[in-house]
Amino acid sequence: MTRKNKQQIDELRKLTDEDLLEEMGDAYKQLFTARLQLSTRQLANTSLPRKAKQRISRIKTLQRERELAALYQAAVEAES
């Protein structure tokens, strides 16, 4: 993992669940726009769709981590 990716993940971890949902919506909009521009040959930087997909994946991973942490915490509390 590169330093830049680590910084991006750390920034996302600081966000609340609602902010993550908003970030994901923005990332999906960027992906849509980039794909549209790519198909109409207006996109100069062809790596933008890939970067948008990676950002979406990072956000989904963090959401899943939080979901699993909450489930684990609930299971621990149920045992007590």
Phi, psi of 19 (to 5 degrees): -65, -35
Other C-beta atoms closer than 10 Å to the C-beta of 25 total 11
Q: Looking at the predicted structure, is the pLDDT value of residue 18 above 90? A: yes
Quickly state the pLDDT bin for 25 (edges 50, 70, 90): very high
Tens-digit pLDDT profile for residues 56-71: 999 999 999 999 999 9
Q: By residue range, what is the domain housing residue 45?
A: 3-79
- Work out how many domains the chain is built from and give that number: 1
Does this model's pTM top 0.95? no
Q: Burial, 64: exposed, middle or buried (Cβ in 10 Å; 0-12, 13-18, 19+)? A: exposed
> Residue 36's domain is classified under what CATH number?
1.10.287.310
